[in-house]
Amino acid sequence: MIKRTRVSQWSDGVLLMGRFEWFGTGCWLLHHNGEGAIVELPPFNPTHQESPANKAYNVCKKRKIKVKYILCTHTHIDHFNPQVAREMQNAFPDAEIHLQRGFQEIAGFLNNVYYFDHDSKLNLGGESLFLVHAPKHSWTDTHIIFKGVAITGDWELNTLRAAHDDKPKYRVPQDAKLAAIDKMSRFEHDFNYRIHKVYSVHANDRREGIDFTALMHDTKVDRSF
Ligand SMILES: [Zn+2]
């Protein structure tokens, strides 16, 4: 039986539309003034799950939200699924897909893709939407910042460690990780913008009322010993 995923509002304009497959990657909708952005293109199990594209289409139709952007936090297979990306593009043919440059190899089959190298500032219904390249868990890590919320992909917080440190093919070297954390620790100051909530894209780490800059400083601490 196909189970319909429940939509839950995590913050003003930030909805979790569902968590997919056994690893539970979230597919999110950001919205403001009738414009929306889809975050994440996870694979799903069609034997018991509704597809993220179908879900997003119905959620946006019901709420009269026009999807302007399709986004993704990093290239790992539990976050970017080519079939789901294609379905999402078919569901929202006018949406622009904004991805970090490192997606180029796997996203070449999509139309309407805009690549950025470092950061990108988009506009959703008059509200700023920031995409910030910050490699720590993987080379394409992108933080998505909207309405005071940071969706931090698969970043491990409060530790310099990353899940793939022992895999030479995937790991981000320590100096690059430190540079990325430094960059994020300056974000609030550089953009004169306050981040008070942090969500992991898997929806298994939810922090509210936080001091983002302090959290970033604490994430530089190596607690792997
Ligand atoms: Zn993941």
pLDDT at 151 over 70: yes
User: pLDDT tier at 177 (50, 70, 90 boundaries)?
Assistant: very high
State the virtual CA torsion across 204, 155, 213, 26 in degrees, nearest 10: -40
Dist. CA 162–CA 216, nearest whole Å? 14
Dist. CA 50–CA 2, nearest whole Å? 6
Residue 173, Cβ density class (10 Å: 0-12 exposed, 13-18 middle, ≥19 buried): exposed
CA of 29 to the centre of ligand 1 (A): 18
pLDDT at 117 over 70: yes
Taking residues 31-56, report their average pLDDT: 96
pLDDT at 82 over 70: yes
Dist. CA 117–CA 46, nearest whole Å? 34
Q: Residue 132 half-sphere exposure, CB side, CA atoms within 13 Å?
A: 24
CA of 72 to the centre of ligand 1 (A): 11
CA of 158 to the centre of ligand 1 (A): 18
**Both structure tokens of 69:** 């952007």
- Mean pLDDT (the chain) is 96
pLDDT at 1 over 80: no
pLDDT at 169: 82
Amino acid at position 67, single letter: V
Taking residues 36-55, report their average pLDDT: 96
Q: Name which residue leads in pLDDT, 73 or 163.
A: 73
**Both structure tokens of 223:** 């607690």
pTM of this prediction? 0.96
Taking residues 123-138, report their average pLDDT: 98
Q: Name which residue leads in pLDDT, 182 or 23.
A: 182
CA distance to 19, 150, 190, per residue, from 65 (Å) = 21, 21, 31
Question: In sequence order, what DSSP letters do the residues of 154-195 get, joined into one string?
Answer: TPPPSSS--TTTT-TTTPPPHHHHHHHHHHHHHHHHHHT---
CA of 157 to the centre of ligand 1 (A): 14
CA of 126 to the centre of ligand 1 (A): 30
Measured over the CA atoms of residue 167, residue 99, residue 121 and residue 197, the dihedral's sign is: negative
The torsion angles phi and psi of 190, rounded to 5 degrees, stand at -60, -40
Domains of the chain in start order, with CATH, are: 8-219 (3.60.15.10)
CA of 202 to the centre of ligand 1 (A): 7
pLDDT at 225: 63
Amino acid at position 105, single letter: E
User: pLDDT tier at 84 (50, 70, 90 boundaries)?
Assistant: very high
Name residue, tokens 């302090």: 214
pLDDT at 41 over 70: yes
The torsion angles phi and psi of 5, rounded to 5 degrees, stand at -80, 150
CA of 179 to the centre of ligand 1 (A): 22
pLDDT at 5: 77
CA of 200 to the centre of ligand 1 (A): 9
User: Residue 128 forms beta bridges with which residues?
Assistant: 123
pLDDT at 6 over 80: yes
pLDDT at 3: 75
pLDDT-above-90 percentage for the chain: 91
pLDDT at 224 over 80: no
